[in-house]
Structure 1
Amino acid sequence: MEEDFWGILKSQNDAYPDILLNKSVTRIGRGYQSFLETKTVISFNHFTIKKDFPSNGHVYLLDFSTNGTFINHTKCNESNEIYCYDEITMCQPLSSVAISYMFIDKRVELEDMNSSGIQYDYFIGRYINGNEQYIRRVLVKKDSFKKEELLVKIIRKKRFPINMKEINTLQSINSPYIVKLLKTIITDNHIFLITPFLKGGALCHRLFYQSFKAKDTQFIIYQILKAVQYLQKKHIIHRRINPQTIIFESEDSFSLKLADFSFSRRIDETRLASTYCDSDYLIAPEIIQSAVNKKPYYAARVDIWSIGVLMYMMAHNKYPKVLKDYPFINTPKLMPQEDLPSNPSEFEKYQEDLINKMMFIDPLQRPSAEQCFNHPYFTKFQFN
């Protein structure tokens, strides 16, 4: 059985039209859409959208392309399930030849509209980032005179069962160094978290193409520590501090905010936690060791480890050598002396000393954020 227009590929490029999905199988490519006929980088049958009926059936993307099809900027396998608001891109995302669409499942969108009204109040716009659990897109309020851009994190409730923790944590936070939650909308299918849209991009992009001056590194670390200091006073751990969750307010500024509380949680007076958070190489070793030995870990200093790794990366333009053997390390300190210049300045010595202290394997030996601010790295050398 087929339905009329059960879905739509909403074009993210002004030069191309939307594609209506009104069959159980829809082929996309040079051989099927006339506006793609002259696009030689697009395959004859680039990809196929297949829907299982009845109306609430799953939707799959089958890739047949030469130059690749990408879902949320990740290259497809031969067959992939897709979800409402996913970004589908033909050819390498962000390249000059890329053609992108936002997939809309009409049934899901209608349910979201009826239960929350988000599509009545906002335009859901261009893709920022995402994965199989959530999508981040630009959001524009329809009745706003200035058309101010916001950011919406669209969480798939069935794919991400711990999302209520993020909501509860964000609703309790009010810090100039942490992204502010403006509004929460909950539907049967999704949770929409609306925050300001910071246009400076994530720290990961700047790490890729620029080196940081010593004072810029100090200012960045200062702000991240201020965010963690605030969280520590509220007995909250972030557990996902990395270059993707540090967002700059503008392209020409080093002012930033900490984002993404999807793995955050409150800790009680014992300071113990047991959840394994699969983030990346910045995750504290006690978390991974806890996953191996199935025992709770001391959680109060996990974020300090992550900041220490970030500080090292910005100071040296590389990863710490310790990560080659990480996380099964027995040495109490991590920073080898050969990382220092032959004639280090006093500032560089203090910088390395603070990194050493933040990256103790034993979390009980790491300083708190407040103790970091009492280190000579901050007290003897103040930034403007």
Structure 2
Amino acid sequence: MSQLPDTLTPVDRMEQETVEESLDFLQATIPWGRLHSCKRFLDSVDLIGESFTFGRSETCTVVITSNQFQRRVVNISKLHFSIERSVEDNLVYITDLSKNGTFVNKIQLGKGSRRILKNDDRIAVSVPDDYIYIYMSRGSDGTNDFLHQDLIDKYAHIRLLGRGACGEVRLVRERNSLAYYAIKKILIGPSNTSQMHKINHPSKINNEINILRTLSHGCVINMNDIIQTQSEVYLVLEYMAGGELSNRIRSLDEDGAKFFFFQILLAVQYLHSKGIVHRDLKPENILLLDDRPETLLKISDFGLSKITSNNDMVTMCGTLRYVAPEVIYNVFREYGEYGKEVDVWSLGVILFYMLSKEYPFCSDDLSILRNQIKSASYHMTSDTWRSISSEAKNLIKKMLILHPKKRITIEEIFHDPWIKNDHGVQHRVQTLLEQEGFENPMNFLLQEPPEKKFRFNSYSSASSSSSNSDCTLVCSSGSFGSAGTVVC
């Protein structure tokens, strides 16, 4: 006899198994829905077990005969429709199996098509408004307190994806198309000026909405729908089942890092061409389409982004580890403002991390971390860097140059040898984008940028460290959250 825990005797084990079997039996006999009959010749049906079928076949749960439907029975298929509850998402689906039509709320499904049922849905066969059943849910219709009433009719809630201080994100499925989406619910904060630094300030929420409405690119998250109330905003975004790029980085070699970094470049180049500076680029804001080793990624989270035609940004924002020096030190700004160069710096930090699995600027002491950034003090001396190509290291140095105007531009990065000479990576990314319906996604690469000369040493990208000693911090020490996010 196998060993049991000291607190569990053979008799206890038998009693436990009996209880579990009883619970399984009880669960199998509890209805997960009910079809309320609209016809006198049809009985109402409790939905128990895996599925329900309706039609003329004797194998159906409800068998229709000529005595019931009289002359119209010829319009009823042997298997007309089925209803089943999914064990994967706990939603209830109706499937049209007929030639003459199954209708839900007067809308024909079409043979072989499914949709998600919700409470009070009307079901008809052959004739759109001649209802035979009303579906009554027992908790499996995808409704949830999270969803606004205007969204419940269109989307079915599945599960929580993430939660933050100002809202949460949940996975839903569109009832008709069965497409998956992520709904981001944001609680709207106070509109007073003193709360401008909060990510749920109305101005930041409206900024994200306005940006998402203008974007259409294979490497940028797409907004499908929006509902706004006085207290909440619901953004219906495409669902990225692969999760955050940050969860994939540890397994990447240099080729894999380049494959994903090239897509990030495409997204940022597109944003900059639209006059949009993201200002909070980091692996946590970059999402993967699915779990395939090579898949599309998309940049998301535009709450801190800025639409600008000039370098007119002066506010401090972003996650400190990825923030450019000119964002937190005005000595590096031109006329007190900064521009899209801040995204290039963030890309340099991201690429550094993707290749080495280390951060170039890293300290639990925020004052030390700020000093590292203002002096561009980083090192490529760990054993990891021995296997990294010199081309990749040189590109990082060009992106992490201290002074914005001397930093490499997005257009120049595309023509850097590490990127330009790898036609294999470009082809793999282009193939993925074209499969998503984006034609000629890299035509802009045909234009050569003007040549720029870069100066840096082996350990730091700062071209002149002596000029940094007089830098003045323009943000108080309390302006950084515990996670190193600039909130002033």
Q: TM-score range by the shorter chain?
A: 0.5 to 0.7
1:282 counterpart letter in structure 2: Y
Q: Equivalent residue for 1:131?
A: 164
| TM-score, with structure 2 as normaliser | 0.50
- 2:421 and 2:291 mapped to 1: Cα distance? 29
- Asked which structure has the greater CA Rg, the reply is 2
**Alpha carbons of 1:353 and 1:335: their partners in 2 closer, same or farther (altered >3 Å)?**
farther
Q: Equivalent residue for 2:405?
A: 364
Which residue among 256, 263, 277 is the counterpart of 2:317? Answer: 277
Give the percent of matched residue pairs that are identical in Structure 1 and Structure 2. 24
- 2:385 and 2:409 mapped to 1: Cα distance? 30
Matched residue SS, 2:216: coil
**Alpha carbons of 1:285 and 1:251: their partners in 2 closer, same or farther (altered >3 Å)?**
same
Deviation string, structure 1 residues 199-242 (Cα, Å, up to 9, x no partner):
111012223xx331111111111110111101111111111111
Aligned-pair CA distance for 1:379: 1.9
Contact 2:224 2:238 in 1 (8 A): yes
Unmatched 5+ residue regions in structure 2? Answer: 1-26, 28-142, 190-199, 429-488
Q: Equivalent residue for 2:242?
A: 200
Which residue among 304, 308, 330 is the counterpart of 1:267? Answer: 308
The answer to whether the aligner puts 1:351 opposite 2:392 as a matched pair is yes
RMSD of Structure 2 on Structure 1 (CA) = 2.9
- 2:318 and 2:386 mapped to 1: Cα distance? 39
Matched residue SS, 2:322: coil
211-220 vs 323-332, greater mean Cα deviation = 323-332
Matched residue SS, 1:231: helix
Q: Equivalent residue for 1:152?
A: 183
Deviation string, structure 1 residues 93-133 (Cα, Å, up to 9, x no partner):
xxxxxxxxx9948xxx7xx42xxx11222223311113122
**Alpha carbons of 1:160 and 1:131: their partners in 2 closer, same or farther (altered >3 Å)?**
farther
Contact 1:335 1:356 in 2 (8 A): no
Aligned-pair CA distance for 1:377: 0.7
Matched residue SS, 2:183: strand
Matched residue SS, 1:372: helix
Q: Equivalent residue for 2:195?
A: none
Unmatched 5+ residue regions in structure 1? Answer: 1-14, 16-101
Aligned-pair CA distance for 1:245: 0.9
- 1:122 and 1:291 mapped to 2: Cα distance? 50
Pairwise mapping of residues 1-384 of structure 1 onto structure 2 (< 5 A)?
A: 104=145, 112-113=148-149, 117-144=150-177, 147-158=178-189, 159-161=200-202, 162-207=204-249, 210-252=250-292, 253-269=294-310, 271-290=311-330, 296-321=336-361, 325-329=368-372, 334-339=377-382, 348-382=389-423, 383=425, 384=428
Contact 1:155 1:191 in 2 (8 A): yes
- 1:342 and 1:183 mapped to 2: Cα distance? 45
Contact 2:156 2:174 in 1 (8 A): yes
Aligned-pair CA distance for 1:250: 0.8
Aligned-pair CA distance for 1:280: 4.2
Structure holding more helix per residue: 2
Aligned length in residues: 268
Aligned-pair CA distance for 1:298: 1.2
- 2:328 and 2:301 mapped to 1: Cα distance? 20
Contact 2:144 2:157 in 1 (8 A): no
Deviation string, structure 1 residues 139-197 (Cα, Å, up to 9, x no partner):
222233xx321111111122432100001111111111101111111122211111111
Deviation string, structure 1 residues 65-92 (Cα, Å, up to 9, x no partner):
xxxxxxxxxxxxxxxxxxxxxxxxxxxx
- 2:308 and 2:227 mapped to 1: Cα distance? 26
**Alpha carbons of 1:134 and 1:338: their partners in 2 closer, same or farther (altered >3 Å)?**
same
Contact 1:203 1:248 in 2 (8 A): yes
Deviation string, structure 1 residues 295-342 (Cα, Å, up to 9, x no partner):
843121111111111111111111115667433358765443525778
- 1:261 and 1:272 mapped to 2: Cα distance? 18
- 1:292 and 1:377 mapped to 2: Cα distance? 28
- 2:180 and 2:241 mapped to 1: Cα distance? 10
Aligned-pair CA distance for 1:349: 0.5
Matched residue SS, 2:369: coil
- 1:330 and 1:125 mapped to 2: Cα distance? 42
